[in-house]
Structure 1
Amino acid sequence: MAPTQTAPEWTADELAELAELKAKNEVLPEDAPRGLLSVRLSILTEDTTSPARQELDLRRHAVREGIRVVGVARDLGVSATKKAPWERKELGDWLNNRIPEFDLILFWKLDRFIRRISDLHEVIKWCEKFGKNLVSLNDTLDLSSPMAQAMVTFIAAVAEIEAANTRTRVSSHWEYTKQQDQWRIGKPSFGYKTARANGKLRLVQDSKRARVVRYMHAAAMRGVPANKIAKVLDRAKVPTYSNRKWNNQQVLRILRNPAVKGIRTEGGTKSTAYNSKPVLDKKGQEISVTDEPILTAEEFEQVQAALATRAKNKRHHEKNRRPTRFLGVVKHETCTNNINETNSYKTLSTGEEREYRYLRCPQCRKPGFVIPDPEHTYSALTQAVFEELGDYEVIRREYARGDENRRERKRLEESIAYYMTGLEPGGRFDKAGFIREKAESTLDALMADLAKIDPESTKDRWVYQSTGKTYRQHWEAGGVEAMEQDLLSAGITFELGRDAGGEVVGKLLIPHDVKKKLIKMGDNWS
């Protein structure tokens, strides 16, 4: 495999050596141990071991040890403390779906592969189950005995302590940095950029983006909804940070962020619901990191009041909200976007409030695509699914190891060679009478036993077995949730549209390889 496009640049010398090592790898025998290389890096700096160096070191080791490299799992910009090996994009695919293709995992150092002891225990159990081994270039690893596994756990404990120390250092650095009136770390909020003045790195206005923020502020003060502000920005082709389309959440996030005043803030991540808070100095004052704020403190408070008033005037019926059923399955035929379930409320003359639920395509407006009876649609979908797929057999994928049959085949081949040599002229069985007859009889029996061994059964492989029930039975027992999960994993959709007479019609779209996609893969990780 060639280096991926996401990897840092390889030098000409490195690429030349890579090609040479690949050529040596190609001539290794087919029965050589098959190795998967795992290359991981959190952040690339001058002090880290580059992915290119990691891979070349691993390939050199593989050539020396006669290990045939069958693939490279490169996970760059991935933290081993945040993502376990089976959760990473490339390595996870090998560990979950391509298990029969390799015999061992080769990595540069244990902390390049794993950093949490709990993850290591899980990987050791997985290796025992599937007959795999771990090989570290710069650590002595061996999973052959409980004592050896204890040593591996000790090494992992050291790596986890090291990771904890790193977090402590980073946290300490931030605690110091956030009290300074200059910009030291992080990405400025929308509308600002960094510039150096009087020896200090401070924030200054990014003229184009600052103008966008001021437009948002003026529009919000006039009572313009956030979704309409987003539409205007999209029509004007104003770029966002993420180069995606504008939406109401992005607009509200910018206007509600105190950092728009040019002050130091903390929080504001997805895990904190993007709720940024000002950082205060020892006197309890906000810390300014710019000399030219986009919004003044007074303007910021005014727009918060305007946004709060608009939000207060909206109806909120959180207790009656429910997630859209079959989300990702039910789509609009015209634009192929997901159809969502929503609700509206009407106050009757008696003062009673009645709730109405309906399905609609959020992307299609004026007149839009609306279906007033969600339950009828869901019923039509489930009926169509039962008719088309209900009688399919539920198949489960299991992993079968071939090591036992490999050992038996090797024993039989060695025994056959022994008797064939003995029956040759001058051999130990080259005698007339009982001894020769007995040897020939034994040889025939051995060859018959060898013929009974299916060559495929000597390989580690996936085996597909019936569960003894149909999908109709599976869905009747598991309910809507089980059907939703299966339809999504199989890529089955139910497209809704209108015929020439304006009637709503649904069409169930089933991939040609649906039986393969419906197979139950199982989960090998606890």
Structure 2
Amino acid sequence: MTATKTAPEWTADELAELAELQARNEALPADAPRGLLSVRLSILTEDTTSPARQELDLRRHAIREGIRVVGVARDLGVSATKKAPWERKELGDWLNNRIPEFDLILFWKLDRFIRRISDLHEVIKWCEKFGKNLASLNDPLDLSSPMAQAMVTFVAAVAEIEAANTRTRVSSHWEYTKQQDQWRIGKPSFGYKTAKVGGKLRLVQNPKQARAVRYMYQAAMRGVPANRTAKVLDRAKVPTYSNGKWNNQQVLRILRNPAVKGLRTEGGTMSATYKSTPVLDKKGQEIRVTDEPILTDAEFESVQAALSTRAKNKRHHEKNRRPTRFLGVMKHQCGRNVSETNSYKALSTGEVKEYRYLRCPECRKPGFVIPDPEHVYSSLAQAVFEALGDFEVVRREYARGDENRRERKRLEESIAYYMTGLEPGGRFDKAGFIREKAEATQEALMADYAKIDPESTKDRWVYESTGMTYSQHWNAGGVEAMEKDLLSAGITFELGKQGNGELLGQLIIPHDVKKRLIKMDDSWS
């Protein structure tokens, strides 16, 4: 069986070679093609090509080809099938924000870079737009013509077929193992752990987790809200399934999962709204994978009824609820988000009156509640208009310098040609019309050369005004446009109360707010 390493490690010999290759890389000419190395790996095992080996192989190749390495995007534990190149943490930052800094992307093998043909077509379009190239150490890659691009697509199709075959093998293995009454694969549901029982690997109760599940059950039967149960579990320092903080959805998901009564289940993913269902054997019977269920069948049914009743009561007012405006922008002094909440009161006439207010969900003793959300929204918007409304809306565009680079080089060669010809003994070193004509041509060339800004020969970001202020932009786009801009710029509106109960609101603006507000187009479909 292949052993899985927890983290990639560099040996002393690899580090020594890395230092040598970096020194040779620094010695390359400044005008050498600039290469970005992309290193990706889903799972590191003894059979896979380690990140260290990938990087060293790529650096050796770059030195041989005269490519100066300007950066390495290392995305480890990332699936190329699930995440496109522009969605990955490190490579995505280069592809979205650091485009002027490199000329080509170099990777070990095409399937290390990309797995889906649709992603490859998107990357090829991106390369054409920004003047970049792709290079693979172990695949023939060329984007210079439609036929070459078709060959690249064919190679990618083979990689996608291989990924599909892997998924089929994994799916087939799961279909077989899930029909067994013993535990062969996967992580046990919360509340259980694996152990040998009668020669078979079965599930047994994890004592601490099982006690937590029993507490959730008892709290739900008493009508305690799931979010309050989650807070108790956090205070008791009960670790969650993912080692994060408890929330109401985690509590409800565990209580609604038939696994708590000892059944094998499947589902529970985002696409299935986290609803797990029992797995049935060939006779249509539920499969029990433990002799120690945390909840009995009767207890499970009773807690489902209790949760269902509470959900119906909540749904009664769901249609009147609306999302909080400026969520993520409004903050309490404690640093947490302030959100809008609805409450309802039955009147003697039989009508139900709705009350809306803002509160900090975390601050309960003493609580922080504002009974007039519209006043706060209005004050926030007014403060934003006063502070930022006169700023001009600036958009970031990508400017390629290849045309000016070619023209500058042509002029340099032409000027050198005439300078050589005007030297003693040169072809233009003659008195009269020929020399005068050559000198005039040289002067004209030098004037054209002086007109070219050296910065315009570089690939770069260009920042252009849209001719609109943010006041105009927000008046046209409404609250949604303002919310989006404030969130992207990291602007917050801090709310608090004085000792006399008077409400205070303070707009907190980062020092580099103009840079943060710049509009950036998404280069990916």
Query: Which TM-score band (shorter chain)?
Result: over 0.9
How far has the Cα of 1:217 moved from its partner? 2.8
Give the match for residue 342 of structure 1.
341
- Partner Cα distance (1:315, 1:344) in 2: 13
1:461-496 CA distance string (max 9 Å, x none):
000011111111111111111111001001111111
Give the match for residue 321 of structure 1.
321
Give the match for residue 381 of structure 2.
382
SS, match of residue 519 in structure 2: coil
SS, match of residue 514 in structure 2: helix
How far has the Cα of 1:273 moved from its partner? 2.2
Give the match for residue 180 of structure 2.
180
Give the match for residue 467 of structure 1.
466
The AA in structure 2 aligned to 1:94 is W
Taking the TM superposition and a 5 Å limit, the aligned residue runs for 1:406-417 are 406-417=405-416
- Partner Cα distance (1:72, 1:13) in 2: 20
- Partner Cα distance (1:7, 1:449) in 2: 56
How far has the Cα of 1:133 moved from its partner? 0.5
The AA in structure 2 aligned to 1:438 is K
The AA in structure 2 aligned to 1:435 is I
Give the match for residue 485 of structure 2.
486
How far has the Cα of 1:284 moved from its partner? 2.1
SS, match of residue 520 in structure 2: coil
Taking the TM superposition and a 5 Å limit, the aligned residue runs for 1:291-306 are 291-306=291-306
Q: 1:350 to 1:222 in 2, by over 3 A?
A: closer
Gaps of 5+ in 1: 1-5
Give the match for residue 444 of structure 1.
443
- Partner Cα distance (1:472, 1:55) in 2: 49
Give the match for residue 3 of structure 2.
none
Which has the higher mean CA deviation after the structures are superposed, 322-331 or 74-83?
74-83
Give the match for residue 147 of structure 2.
147
How far has the Cα of 1:310 moved from its partner? 4.0
1:97-149 CA distance string (max 9 Å, x none):
10000000111111211122221111111111110011111111111111111
Q: 1:197 to 1:350 in 2, by over 3 A?
A: closer
- Partner Cα distance (2:382, 2:186) in 1: 53
Which has the higher mean CA deviation after the structures are superposed, 379-388 or 156-165?
156-165
Question: Is the CA contact 1:7–1:51 (under 8 Å) kept in the aligned structure 2?
Answer: no
In the alignment, structure 1 residue 55 sits paired with structure 2 residue 55: yes
Give the match for residue 360 of structure 2.
361
How far has the Cα of 1:525 moved from its partner? 1.3
- Partner Cα distance (2:51, 2:201) in 1: 32
Question: Is the CA contact 1:7–1:76 (under 8 Å) kept in the aligned structure 2?
Answer: no
Which has the higher mean CA deviation after the structures are superposed, 378-387 or 494-503?
494-503
- Partner Cα distance (1:407, 1:312) in 2: 70
- Partner Cα distance (2:91, 2:258) in 1: 40
- Partner Cα distance (1:213, 1:51) in 2: 41
1:220-248 CA distance string (max 9 Å, x none):
33444333332322222222222222223
- Partner Cα distance (2:196, 2:60) in 1: 46
RMSD: 1.8
The AA in structure 2 aligned to 1:166 is T
Taking structure 2 as the reference length, what is the TM-score of the superposition?
0.95
SS, match of residue 338 in structure 1: coil
The AA in structure 1 aligned to 2:91 is L
SS, match of residue 342 in structure 1: strand
Q: 1:298 to 1:449 in 2, by over 3 A?
A: same
How far has the Cα of 1:199 moved from its partner? 4.0
Which has the higher mean CA deviation after the structures are superposed, 87-96 or 72-81?
72-81
SS, match of residue 121 in structure 1: helix
Give the match for residue 518 of structure 1.
517
Taking the TM superposition and a 5 Å limit, the aligned residue runs for 1:123-142 are 123-142=123-142
The AA in structure 2 aligned to 1:407 is R
Which has the higher mean CA deviation after the structures are superposed, 25-34 or 436-445?
436-445
How far has the Cα of 1:388 moved from its partner? 1.2
Give the match for residue 72 of structure 2.
72
- Partner Cα distance (2:521, 2:116) in 1: 24
SS, match of residue 28 in structure 1: coil
Question: Is the CA contact 1:329–1:494 (under 8 Å) kept in the aligned structure 2?
Answer: yes
1:70-104 CA distance string (max 9 Å, x none):
11111122222222111111111111110000000
Give the match for residue 248 of structure 1.
248
1:136-181 CA distance string (max 9 Å, x none):
1111111111111111112222222222222222211111111011
Gaps of 5+ in 2: 1-5
- Partner Cα distance (2:413, 2:157) in 1: 45
- Partner Cα distance (1:45, 1:180) in 2: 28
The AA in structure 1 aligned to 2:385 is F
Taking the TM superposition and a 5 Å limit, the aligned residue runs for 1:169-248 are 169-248=169-248
Which has the higher mean CA deviation after the structures are superposed, 379-388 or 189-198?
189-198
1:415-446 CA distance string (max 9 Å, x none):
12212222222222223333333322222222
Which has the higher mean CA deviation after the structures are superposed, 15-24 or 433-442?
433-442
